[in-house]
Structure 1
């Protein structure tokens, strides 16, 4: 169970689930969902998609394994989930994804415009633009039939310079950041990796580790000739030479000449020289790679993949005399290198959550088998050599189809392995496979390698050791052949995929001491698959981890025996926390408290296993040793593989007792002191007294009485009914509930949702023979100094939901009231009505202040008409958003037209309805109308004083 992060590559991850994980959780883990790994403990349901940006790692689910763990008898208890990093959404190892079927052709475009053009169209891809930082220069190119990951990497490489490298990353929320490394990563190191020494300085941290340093000149190049677009004699070329000239010489003393040919048929002529220089930059110095492994710290928070760190190891040649820093008072000359890969374990303390495609979250933390091995592996400097090839095409003629087939990779043996304890306390094994990258079957170098397929399974040909004690557990007919009574289970192959830029892989959760078969093959980018390698068999590391030292036992002694009790706890503290692969305890007895256990002190072996630990069943064992003087007992824990713990501290007998195993009958007429502990006591009744305050248990039930002899509690054994006199309280503080807390409002139930003094309550009151109920919230101040509370009041004739004052219980704001004849909802504050809605069997009414006969404004809706009570708005006081207003004006006598202005400019045009009052009849017309006013023209001209009446409707 580990996470592998790789700069600008897919990487991988895998987590193991506990057996017994609920089926609904397993069903929820669907392919192409996402798993987030977050430091600390958080609730995914509370934080939701915020976890995508706070997570240390977000991966895509691509594999699920449901198998059988050979350690247990439970079926389908080997559950793993795995996948790759978020870079997959730009294109996976097969370059599947949002492939450009139509050409994307940036022409003299800025870096930001180019990246946005190459991102999948909206709704067609899982990656959107995040922060795109500016990069100097313009880009021209053509991209078709390739994935966004390939194209964006090409653009970033092309626009990089020695002083300003350009890169990209996909964030956990599916956004892409791209731009100069100084904007994406830490380029001014705050961490130094040293072979010797560690600690903290004011601005620097040094990490302790074991280092593997690799330096070589296998790829060293002095000149690059790049073959760009075109065929035959029309191939465009670009070239770049190392500057200044190399100091290396050939055997005759001539300057070293190492020319490399690179083929990129998709590169345009204008970019050929830039791409040639980019290719040359990869090979102008020694290849430096530093792999560090540590179990003493977690590199998270110190640096991440892509950051630069200082590396200093003079013995390995990792120094740079042009650079000088001071660390803890010492001047050193470190080399600045980039962190390119990181492998780290998912251990307890992380939150692991799954996000489905519909955005719902599932917390997996409680179902994860976390790793106890905290070793982290970090690669600083270069990638594996395969990643440094800038071309994926053969040199020379360019065929239309890729016919090269990868050869067979060669495993490098022996494999490295170790045993570890999983989250359940069982011993498991891990192994690191290593191999050499192959050539193509025709002997040419693999330039288009994509990934490796690895498959492994339990080796069924190996003869596994078995003791007669183990054989005694099965029937004779269940055994295999005489030479091999136990045959390994014949499991199917399990598969894993490793990117071509890796030559190691880690297999986890293997059975200790069991043989495994493993094979590997190579696959190139066009899907050409090489042959599987010959089967290599290895044996997983045996269980060599002894159990923890157990705690001292509890011992009771008698004249005839010692009784030992052990709660299967560790000497460091706790009970029932020994490892789950425990098999039995050895019991040793001697006369000295510090004796050394041996065969002569061994008095017995008592079974102790995972079932007893899970069920919390203590070990109880009787040793037939007569105690005539002080005896001391020590126990040793032994696991299933025979590993023994150190002996516990000694414990001596606590009393001269006769244990019940040696008493055949016991009659007691009176017990005057001590404590009786037994499961066999049967009596007619048990009581603390005959009168006064007392408790009584009988066949009738359980009873409590006060000092006056009144029964205050009775739990009826026959019916289960319980009657209580007094308060019922679920707690004395914090979240709690109280029934009948006081005599003020009875009956009453109070609810305290937190540790404060505020509470909500339900109480019942009577009105004559009626029973009424109220549901009340706690009081609060809405801001004007008058406390209010929410109340739902239900009576036989009226129901009301309202905010009321705490002092007078008068309405204080909105309320809803229902009676047998009317529904009413409105606003009332200290007796003053506001807006309202009401309905009865005769009418519906809506408006404002129905009780004010002078200023009330409302509509009545009845079966045959609608009635408005109140006044319409006058145009003199019109507002810009009024939908309807009316008015009248008296124009100049004898005029033939009149223009009315609304005052404000209305939001939209108004439609006026106009009539004219005069002592003669006129023909009239509205000759102009907009959102500021209207004009009316009459014929003939006005005779006397005249008036214009109008209504205006806004459209």
Structure 2
């Protein structure tokens, strides 16, 4: 369980979980979530996404392991999760990612503009631009079909120099920082890796541990030639030579020459020399690689991946005489190298938290099995070697474009063909083509052949034979010419592909006996297509496959005929399973059970097609044979081409009395019978009697008559109209509908419920209460338990609606509850107790006035309001309103001739504007009572003032009015 950080690469991480980890926690750890490893103990729920920036490491979850470590009896006790670093979001190890499918083109763009073009702020990329530091120079290039990691690395490498290397990093919060190394990493080392001593010295820290050092010149080069864009003679190139000259000599004492070829087909011509110099800078010195294994696991406080450190090991040659530093009182000459990789353990003291895709956090610290071994491994490499780790493609021959054209293959005749039955049982044809492989048109051998293309279509020039039987199916004027009665079918080319290493191909699903045109051409791997060969015509194999032997038929015999029924099944078993190209059955009859069918025994042909088999319609055929002895019947299946099957086994039939099954046509002048069974009967007129009650069916329709001969029912065949006289019922009990239930003059429709005898009805209505002359319509519900029902009645003068009861004494409707009546004079709505004269609340409106009020049994309490068309309003009865208040108060003047006031409150008068009036009860106004007034009228009350010549108690009447 460790974390491996690699400069500008994915790296890896793994966290081992305890076997007791809850299942819901394991299920919540979904792929492509993020795991943050933070120094110290923090609550993920409290800090949330702040952990992404505070974490020492943030990784992407890609693997989950649930297994058995084999050390205990507990099942599934080996639990772990793992993945890679945040650089994966720019592109993984397989170069999968947000690939640029549309080209991103930079023309003389700054470094910052180029990075923003590669990672626009549109939200289409999982990594967004963080801080981009300025880099000198401009960039021109085109990026397509590559991941952002490849493109950004290419841009950084191209704009790097030896003195100012350029790099990038992806932060834990999914942002990208890019720019000079001095802006991204520590380039002035604060850490020394040495074998001499460890400890602290001022601003420097030395790490203890074991050191492995490797130096080599395996990649050493003195010149680089870079092959850029283009191909063949148009390849753009760039070159760079080592400077100063190499100090190494060959065996003859000459400076060594080690030229490296680098291929970058996506590099533009303008960048070729820069990229060549960049590639050379990787290989102009020895490769210095150092691995430090230290128990001081928290090296994060000393440096990070990408930072520079001092490395001093004179015994291994890691010395730079141009550099001198003081460390613990000694002058040393270390070499400055970049940390390219760090591998460290996850031990106690870290917080491990998981961030789901929806931004929620889960604390995993309590479930983690922490490492006890705190050893960390740090790898550092040569400065320029690691800085400019450019990626290039293998150097190829970059040949000129393939312009060779394949020649024309030669078809070898004759072709081999045969007929076959397809999965549907239809006869089809196949043919095997063969050909000789061609050379190129220039005579050279084809070495890059890819495939052959074969196309074929129905030939339109052949003479197709036609029989008189087939010609008989069309009209004489529909024929083409005497030699070619039917037009040849036209069709488009059909194409198939054959591999290059094959010289044969099979064409299938061809129509038997039909001519076909075929052509072939060759195609090489560069997509160069040769010319089509000349047209070769062949005729597909004719249908020579006979149908299967049919099963024996079912036979019924009579004195005059034999009826043959066949289920279109094979003799091997089954029904409706003969071949789909079946055309008809031949019926053969003889007196011998083992007879051989021939022209003398053929008694008929009956159609039998694939459609009948799909619809499972049996063949039924009647053979006229006037014999009474036993006869044997065999059938032969014939397909559309005329191929005949073997005969079926014989079925026997003996003549019997002529029964229903054998009467296909009967003409008689009279039939006397008790019963006639028939699917249909054709007659001019069918009736039950000539007079009296009867029913008659004729061309005019269906009629019914009563005993008097009066028509009661008429269903007209011309327009479907129906006339019925009398009662019409939808049922005899339960839920039903009855039309005209009585012989009364008023038409009526009764609607019965599922149970009970109560019913609602719709009937003609008249005001007299007797069924005389109907002038209106009435709709009435069934009565409730109290005998009250609802009624709507309308005639030419009045419309009423309300609740009613029927008086037992006079059978007249009496209003009981709400009631409304309207006529030409006006409209009245009221509540009635049980009679017209005994009602409560009422509204009455005419053309010139409206009245609303209460008119109950106690006439002394009647009250109403009448509104007249002349504009006056008449109140009858006691009057009370919320918009006014009337009352009185008593005032005792405080002194003679001194105004004294009293406030009246709690009146709650409704209104927007308020007016007040006051009057003193006095017999000496003007002499002793010299003044009465009001002030501050409002909804709640008013203030009343009194002035008199003495201090006598005075009663004041007031009136407060609220107005809108």
- TM-score of the aligned structures, taking structure 2 as reference length: 0.41
Question: Structure 1 length normalisation: TM-score?
Answer: 0.42
**Higher alpha-carbon Rg:** 2
